[in-house]
Every structure is written in C-alpha cells, then in structure tokens.
Structure 1
Amino acid sequence: MNAGAPVLEVRDLTKSYGGVRAVDGVSFDVAAGELLALIGPNGAGKSTCFNIVNGQLRPDAGAVRLGGRVITGLPPRRIAALGVGRTFQVAAVFGSMTAAQNVQTALAAARGGTFDLWRPARRLGREQALDLLAQTGMAAQADRPASTLAYGDVKRLELAMALAGEPRLLLMDEPTAGMAGTERREMIALVQALTRARGLAVLFTEHSMDVVFGHADRVIVLARGRLIANGGVDEVRRDPLVREVYLGGAPTEARP
C-alpha cells in the first residue's frame, strides 16, 4: 500500500521495572490508512509499549507524537480526546445497556457530556449510534442488551464504541482473541476495511499469525524489549531472527 504521512511517531521509548528493561529504545511510525501489527513472544514488551502510547504508563525516556504533537505522559482521557481510540483484549461494554445505548454513551463521552437512560436525552445521538453499528455489522443487534450478544458481536460493538470519538489512531489489543477461525478473519477484514475507508492509523497486537500475515500492511516484532524487525509481511515472516525467537524456525504462511 501507499501509506500517508505518519499519524503516530514513537521514538526511542524506554521503560524499566527494577533492573529489567521492558521496552528498550523502541521506535516506529504508523501512517494514515495503515494496519500495523505489533507481535512478539510473551514478555517481549508489547503491552508495555502499547500502554505507553495510550498514556496508561509513563516512559523513562523517549517520545510519542500524534500528528506531530507530543503526547508522552498525557493521561488516557486527554489522549483519547486528541483522537486515539482503544479496544481491549477483554471487551469493555455495559451489559445492561442495549448495543445502541452503549454507542450513545461513547458518543456522549467523546463530546464531554453525560448519558442518562431515564431522561429524553437518551434519544440524543441514536441516529449516529445506529450508523456506527451498521458500519460494524451490528445494525440488527442495535436494541439487544449487550449481555445477550454473542462474543464476536460484543467485539464488534466495542469497535463501534471506539469509533464514536472519530479517532485518527486506533489501538487494538488482541482484536480477535477468543474467536473461531472464520470469525477472526471476518473481524480483521472489517477492521481493514474501516482503516481504508476512514484513513485510520491502526496499531494492533495479535497472537493469531493468520490474522497478522493475512491482513497487516506491516509488522513490527519485539523480543526482550527491543525491536528486532520492522517491515512488510513477507519480509518479517522470512526474517531469520524472527523465525528463531518467535515463529519456531520456519516461515509461517498465511492461511486462506
């Protein structure tokens, strides 16, 4: 793909816990319209790096820029307001609310307001919420309580909620975790389509290599806190060091 200018710039991030460097001088960019996978073995530093970008952790050194603006150390709420959306490995939705009400709540939060189910204001944002649900394949589930949704639909609902703030950058932690093969591929294909349509920059962590090698535009690999590879899918899949420390010694082909 021909990516645009960087939306996210990460430079020389370092974070230590005691004498252990969880992240050690990591640098990378994510461009508009790009789906970038962050992978690596357990303990590689993926979550630490992810949480520094999101503002949940403050680095010991280095900088994070969003659209050229330094956001290093800002709290997550402030970073979200600047255009960063987030989904989690375990989806965070309100089970007692309908799918539409969940998205309306996210819309209200993005606007700095509040949401009350028991007042006429509950109708505010409903049309926009329904549009976001339609974009994520959830239109038919709009009035179902989130607690009754299938797991894959909950993940789609969380994606719609993340899009409510009209982010420039979307951070996705294990977006297909817990899904069966077909459902995984459908979910990441949806994310890929939204990335293109909206010009989003997407950074995601993922353990499923069929998802990574089948859909990512580019892959970065961490091992023991250091960046050991950064390139296209085929380049990274065949990298000898990546194969040694993560892929088990042989190139991993994308599954159909």
Structure 2
Amino acid sequence: MATLEVEGIQKSFGGVQAVRGVSFAVEPGEMLALIGPNGAGKSTCFNMLNGQLRPDAGRVRLQGRDITGLKPREVWRLGVGRTFQITATFGSMTVRENVQMALLSHHRRLGQLWRPVARMDAAEADALLARLGMAGQAGRPCGILAYGDLKRVELAIALANQPALLLMDEPTAGMAPQERVSLMALTAGIARERGIAVLFTEHDMDVVFSHADRILVLDRGALIAEGAPQAVRNDPRVREVYLGSGATSGH
C-alpha cells in the first residue's frame, strides 16, 4: 500500500485555479520530488496535504485513511512530519529541548510540562541528534546556530514524530552546496532505513536529480510530467516550461 495517495485535488483562490486535479502516490522509503516554476502550485499542494488548506475537490489518504481537510495537528498525530522553507524552531531553547518538545507531543505528554523539560526524553533526543550529526550541538540554543545546523534540527523535530510521511518544503534553501548534499543524503538514508515516504519541493536541480527516486512536475497548477529523473530531464515540455534547453547536460 502507498503511504500517501492523492486523488484529483483542486484549489482555487477567487478566480485563480492554483491546483487543478493533481493525483499521485508516494511509496514507503521513496524520495519523491515535486518541482515546477514559481507559482506552479507546489506550496498550495503541500498545504492541502498537511491540513493548512482544505481542497475544493479530491481526496488525500495516508496509509489508506482519508485525511482530507484534517487540521495540521491532527495530521501530525497520524504520522506526518514536516519541515519548512524558513526554519521553525524555538530560538531560546536548546537543540535538545526543541527535539524533546516534539517527542513529548509524539508521546502525548505535553500535559507534563510542569516537570523540567531537560529531564524528559533526553536519551531519545540525544540518539536522534547523534544520527543527524548534531550530538555536539545538543546543549546550544537554536537562536545562535548556523543556518545549516538549524535545518538539521528541524529535520530532527520532524523525525521525532516517527512519521510514515515526511513533507519537506525546500529543505536545502539557504544552505551551502556541501550542506545541501549532506542533508539530502542523510534524509534519503533514514527514509529508506525506516520506510518513510518523503515528498519534497526543491529549486536546486542538482539536489533533485541526485536524490529523487521519482519526480513530479507542476505548471500552472497541473501535473505535466511524472517519472524517473532522466525521463523528466529529457521531457520536452518540462525543458520548455522549467528546466531550459541546457537541462540534459550534467547528471
């Protein structure tokens, strides 16, 4: 069974149809990239999957369960993690405490916050941070971290939910080239190891073609191509609307 099944989702804002009948599926352990020019409908699509927007039409299913229109916190409870283009962490709290908060939510223990947060789920948080190469940063406030490290913290927060599905909105935006390669290789390894389905949007085509198992291409709200990276790279319509004539060089 596919982890995520999307069937004919649509969304309009006024007279503008932002997403038009988009359908796809993501399998366990698969890295699926959603790409397209600015205004193609990628963020709107993501927000419908995560519950921030309700589709005008169509269905979203997670492991066979209809989650269409559920609120973001309800979607999180069902096993969906998300990272954002602009990192969202608690700057005054340490790296460990940020991950612990996510663990408390996952284990439904947020009502126990009268205890010192630093005593809760510390071993589990530290193990996850070590897996992401952040063990040495565990005690530092997020507000003083370099941007690439913040991206890893946000990934740790998403993984603390033990997700079946991980949604990543431009996960390498603002990062140095080597940091981008490292983060996505790490994500791909964890996804395959744990059977996590990953859907990500990304403007860095080196990242997309190096790490995606499959690629979806949106243009003006419609899905215009879907397939393996090389097939999408060579698709004339994709080259015309997004990749450009030089897209067949390189990888």
Shorter-chain TM-score category? over 0.9
TM-score, length of structure 1 as denominator length: 0.95
- Paired AA for residue 238 in structure 2: V
Pick from 54, 72, 75 the counterpart of residue 76 of structure 1: 72
Distance, in Å, in 2 between the alignment partners of 1:254 and 1:87 is 29
Equivalent residue number for residue 96 of structure 2: 100
Would the alpha carbon gap of residues 209 and 64 (structure 1) be closer, same or farther in structure 2, given more than 3 Å must change? Answer: same
Deviation of the 1:117 alpha carbon: 7.6
Candidates 196, 202, 214, aligned match of 2:198: 202
Identity %: 63
- Partner AA of 1:19 in structure 2: G
Unaligned runs of 5+ in 1: none
Number of residue pairs matched by the alignment: 251
Alignment correspondent of 1:215: 211
Q: Pick from 22, 26, 46: which aligns with 2:18?
A: 22
SS at match of 1:6: coil
C-alpha contact 2:100 2:117 (8 A) present in aligned 1: no
CA RMSD of aligned residues (A): 1.4
| Contact 2:8/2:59 (8 A) holds in 1 | yes
SS of the aligned residue for 1:235 comes to helix
Cα contact 1:222–1:229 (8 A) shared by 2: yes
What corresponds to 1:169 in structure 2? 165
**Alpha-carbon distance in 1 for matches of 2:240, 2:116:** 59
**Deviation per residue, 1:154-200 (Å, 9 max, x gap):** 10011001011100000000000001111111111111111111110
Distance 1:51 1:211 in 2: 22
Matches within 5 A, 1:49-68: 49-68=45-64
**In the alignment, does 2:160 pair up with 1:135?**
no
> CA–CA distance in 1 between the matches of 2:249 and 2:185?
18
Counterpart for residue 151 of structure 2: 155
Q: CA deviation at 1:232?
A: 0.3
